[in-house]
Amino acid sequence: MQISDRYFARGREFLGVETPILCGGMTWISNAQLVSAVANAGGFGCLAGGNSPAAILEAEILKTRELTDRPFAVNLVTIAPAFEEQLEVVCKLRPQYVVFAGSFPNARQVEMMKELGAKVLCFASTLSIAQRMIRYGADALVLEGMEAGGHVGHVSLTVLLQQVLFEVPQVPVFVAGGIATGRMCAHMFLMGAAGVQLGTRFAVATESCAHARFKEKFRKANARDAVSTPQFDSRLPVVAVRALRNAGLEDFARLQLDLIAQLDAGTIHREAAQLEVERFWMGALRRAVQEGDIDKGSLMAGQSVGLVSREESVADILADLCSGIETEMQAVRARLLPEA
């Protein structure tokens, strides 16, 4: 028996998988092809709802079920324009696991998923939010530090571990943000995490549908190239997005300033302005992933992009992570118990 088996136990039981390593729900990337590959290799994939029309999400869920008989989650972005229609699809197809991302679900939305028999995972950026999600009925939490790619918060994973992971023993807690190596994963498990979630490394996997230019950009990037977008005006409370610096980021800054001017002039409502922001990101990300537009498209990447230097199969990624986890745990034991 390996040391890691002991630390994998809680995540294994909750997710029903061999390896409690999650592939995050990356819009336009975490599709049936990638999610099923992760599931078939023993990990846990999260199918991205993103801004997909309801019909496309339904087709992707059904396709994933054709490609694997193992557990996976459907990831829904609560601030996406298509969120309500996607909820209807989920109610129809009744997936085993649902992840609410982007922002926080209300009590009724969590209850709806529970009534379907699904296990619900919610993101939490503070201890109070974690406690609220648990009151709502969340079965597990995801802590994602600002080091992650895509929509992110403003607190690093190292702080969230202390604020939430150490204080919430009652439900499994999965951690994410800036994680790319088995050695780092080992210490997350040792600190009490039920599992770890990676996105950026899986984005360049062989089974990822991302365009070759998109993957090449990731492989050549440094950690400092993945920057978080600013918010210019409290009246337009955009969720920060971390992506590789390019002309697309400059376009987003100009979009915010234009929307703020429209708010000043009273020609647009706040809700409509926020929808314009989300439409920008969803469209820009699609162009980058599907068309290889690395200049104007959105290259959403976590700071762990600086640790990604090659394209590998999903199976090789998971094998490398598990090997690194066990090796590091053995090394920790040797340091703590040298006589053993």
Q: What is the pTM of this model?
A: 0.94
The reported pLDDT for the residue numbered 232 is: 85
pLDDT along the chain (340 residues), means of 10: 95 98 96 98 96 93 98 93 93 97 92 96 94 97 95 92 96 97 98 98 98 97 94 82 92 90 92 84 88 95 96 98 98 90
Domain ranges of the chain: 3-210+305-336, 223-291
The reported pLDDT for the residue numbered 282 is: 76
CA geometry: angle 193, 196, 202, nearest 5 deg: 175
Q: How many residues are listed for the chain in this entry?
A: 340
Q: Give the span between the Cα atoms of 22 and 201, in whole angstroms.
A: 11
Of the candidates 21, 22, 89, 101, the residue with the CA atom closest to the CA atom of residue 60: 89
**302 and 244 in contact (C-beta within 8 Å)?**
no
The reported pLDDT for the residue numbered 258 is: 93
The CATH architecture assigned to 3-210+305-336 reads: Alpha-Beta Barrel (3.20)
Burial of 339 (0-12, 13-18, 19+ CB in 10 A): exposed
Q: Give the span between the Cα atoms of 337 and 340, in whole angstroms.
A: 6
The reported pLDDT for the residue numbered 47 is: 98
